[in-house]
Structure 1
Amino acid sequence: MSGADGLIVTLPLGGDEALHWWRLDDGIITQRGQNEDVRDAAGLPSATPGERIMAIAPTELTFVNWLAFPDLKPRQAEGAARVEAARRGIGGADANHAATRAMEDKDGTVLTATIAPAALSGGLAHLQAIGIDPDFVTPVGLLVQPGDEDDWLEAEIGGERFLRSSRLVLPAEDALVAAVAGNIQPVVLNDEEADAALEIAFSDPPLNLRQGRFAKRRRAQGMGKRQWQLIAITLALAVLATLLIALVTLAKYSFGADQQDAAALAQARTIVPEANDLESAERALDALLIGRGGGASFGASAAALFQAVQSAPDVTIQRVAYGPDGTLSATLAAPQPDQLNQVLVPLQTSMGYVITQAPHQGAEGGTVIDITVRAP
């Protein structure tokens, strides 16, 4: 058990129906109810740090399947399964949102679930309107797990009865069960067993429908003390080296060149003792600065990038580097491509920087972009 605090709530089907909810403290169900105003009823008036929220989607909205891709790596298998699951859904690929999770077994099994995009977006919008933004949306049929491949389980969770086998989830409708399961008698879970299944699924959700364009938007976390220290050291080195380079340049073109040269070279040798003359000192200082991740234009370019990212709370910086040609490069990530434009557009139009970009799909379904930033 993860020991997490939070809430489980049923995903709305539409309208103003009263929602089933379960309040968990330290991973254990402590309250439950069925209300329209779930947060107040559950004693959660506002979001709290560390709180986890899981919504459970009814069987009638989702189709669960297991696909096998034995020749692919897990990430590749998830991508292939996402396409295939959406294609197999009612209405074809354009009418389905697919979520996947690789089981990482020898058969390359991938657990998949599809749902109509309108149903998922409508349910999320309903919950968000009452102050609930789920971290996970999980099909209700995946909350229980048969002990044996040949077993069938029957459970009722959130007012919905359903049947589950090792590779099938069905609404508990007599005609459908008779057609698929025949005369098999399922094992019926009691209330305590259903609660235990909810608690286990809450600690480790078996599948999250909030993938791709439905991934939960998270505000960028502030940089820690260590990161700010590294930036401060880099900028300090940039300023120091830039000043020394300026002294070297000034000495070369000022009156009293010999005396100025000697003084500037003496100053430079406090950092690069191997320098024999002003030219070698200038080259050594610039090389030292580049080696520290800076450069003559690093401070301005980095400051502009950090400023632009701070104005776009859903964008995160995954990597920053500085090249010997004066180019600042970085990798940015965001749930949606439009959010990255909130960083790139001001850098180009308002600040005048020259930007190149190479977007690609992130491992978790978001958008990742590699950029370079050059001073105008």
Structure 2
Amino acid sequence: MSATLVLWLPPVAALGDGDAPDPAWLRVDDGVIVDSGQDDGWVDAWEKPHSDDADDRLIALAPACDVPLRWLAYPEAAPAQAMAAARIDALKASLGDAALLHVVAGQPVEAGQAAPVAVTTHAAMTAWTDWLAARSLSPAAIIPAAAAVPPPEPDRLWSAEVGREQIVRSTDRAYVSDPELDPLIAGGHAIAPLDAERMRDALLLTLAAPPLDLLSGAWKPRRSWSLDPALVRLVKRLAIALLVVSLLIPIIHAFRLSRDSSRADEAVVAMAKKAGVTAPDATAAEAELDRRLATAGGGPLAFSVPASALYDAMRDAPGVALKTLSHRTDGTLTTTLAAPRVEDINQVLLALQARGYRVTAQPMAGSDGQQMANITIRAVP
């Protein structure tokens, strides 16, 4: 359901005196006027509770005494061009400093139609916006009240009561009525009263499709960015879900790793049991197997393991010769290497270190001019 509160703004002169009467108002629900008055009843009408999906809005009507209207026609111009031209021509025809005037033109629906243009002052706009702000009101639009009066037939003028004003409407003007000036402006045309029901229908059409809005130009409200509460709730839920997933991934990975490690340890203990080693866990089983292999001269402490690594390292350094070679029961391999250059011996040492062995070297000079070094290689990396 859509609800609209229409509030007539007080004249600027009444605001200046500080004794503005209660504004005229009416409430429209779904295109039907359901309440109206010329008192402070608009407060209850605006604060009336609605459903959560109601589209409520406030529209203020500016008095014709402060905002007269003209309709300017440019038959050869497009609607946007007619609107711009009407604003410029109205500003040229207005009295006073242009910087103090607030001129707003509406865009015709079709080419050739007259463009409505309203002229007021920035001082009036300031007075009205301050009056609204003092009541914590933020209108969706401020429409000249004279814009609601429909155009008359070419040979007459309408006189209609809108709010507390009597407004006269000709084919190209709308202004507040003045008993002395009306006959002069009408000339030989008759001024006929507009039927109240027809005026009410015209007002509803104006509210549905305002021909122009004084909240434009320098008075156009700044856009305030607001987030949809439903969207905020969705983002929060997605953030929580992302956080939960981010925490679950490492937890699940750690659980699977722990389970795989447990299975591997169980397999080691089972294999050690087949070899005749009884141990409570994989670490104890591995230590016992290494001890038995060392006692038997095998395993990683055996001579063949570091010796094989040494021969592989020497294969890439053809100039290096093996002079002596010995092996201790703790797995340490001792050798003497000779080469024409120290760089060749260093190449072998670096290759052994790259395999993860601990290497120490003591260089010395050979009797035949070659470079030599006593090397010790730890069999266990």
How far apart are 1:147 and its partner, in Å? Answer: 4.8
Residues 108 and 165 (structure 1), Cα distance of their counterparts in 2 relative to 1, 3 Å cut:
closer
| Equivalent residue number for residue 9 of structure 2 | 11
What is the TM-score normalised by the length of structure 1?
0.54
Residues 58 and 4 (structure 1), Cα distance of their counterparts in 2 relative to 1, 3 Å cut:
same
Selected match of 2:211 from 202, 206, 212? 206
Name the amino acid aligned to 1:129: A
How far apart are 1:204 and its partner, in Å? Answer: 1.2
Say yes or no: does 1:57 pair with 2:55.
no
Selected match of 2:136 from 131, 137, 152? 131
| Equivalent residue number for residue 21 of structure 1 | 25
Distance in 1 (CA, whole Å) between partners of 2:5 and 2:148 is 15
**Conserved 8 A contact 1:8-1:23:** yes
Residues 85 and 155 (structure 1), Cα distance of their counterparts in 2 relative to 1, 3 Å cut:
same
Distance in 2 (CA, whole Å) between partners of 1:87 and 1:182 is 25
What is the TM-score normalised by the length of structure 2?
0.53
Residues 196 and 71 (structure 1), Cα distance of their counterparts in 2 relative to 1, 3 Å cut:
closer
Residues 84 and 221 (structure 1), Cα distance of their counterparts in 2 relative to 1, 3 Å cut:
farther
Selected match of 2:44 from 19, 32, 40? 40
Distance in 2 (CA, whole Å) between partners of 1:185 and 1:47 is 48
**Conserved 8 A contact 2:100-2:123:** no
Distance in 2 (CA, whole Å) between partners of 1:75 and 1:170 is 25
Describe the superposition over 1:21-69 as per-residue Cα deviations: whole angstroms up to 9, x where unpaired. 1011112111111224732355448998521221111111013122344
Say yes or no: does 1:142 pair with 2:142.
no
Residues 37 and 153 (structure 1), Cα distance of their counterparts in 2 relative to 1, 3 Å cut:
same
How far apart are 1:70 and its partner, in Å? Answer: 4.9
Q: Which shows bigger deviation, 191-200 or 154-163? A: 191-200
Say yes or no: does 1:79 pair with 2:84.
yes
Q: Note the aligned Cα RMSD (angstroms).
A: 3.1
Query: How high is the sequence identity, in percent, across the aligned residues?
Result: 28
Say yes or no: does 1:91 pair with 2:96.
yes
Greater relative CO (CA pairs within 8 A, separation 6+): 1
How far apart are 1:139 and its partner, in Å? Answer: 1.5
Residues 46 and 89 (structure 1), Cα distance of their counterparts in 2 relative to 1, 3 Å cut:
farther
Residues 189 and 77 (structure 1), Cα distance of their counterparts in 2 relative to 1, 3 Å cut:
closer
Structure 1: 5+ residue stretches without partners: 233-376
How far apart are 1:146 and its partner, in Å? Answer: 2.6
Residues 177 and 112 (structure 1), Cα distance of their counterparts in 2 relative to 1, 3 Å cut:
same
Residues 181 and 34 (structure 1), Cα distance of their counterparts in 2 relative to 1, 3 Å cut:
same
Distance in 2 (CA, whole Å) between partners of 1:20 and 1:98 is 25
> 1:214-229 residue pairs with structure 2 within 5 A?
214-222=219-227
How far apart are 1:102 and its partner, in Å? Answer: 1.9
Say yes or no: does 1:161 pair with 2:159.
no
Distance in 2 (CA, whole Å) between partners of 1:179 and 1:46 is 49
Q: Report the number of matched residues.
A: 227
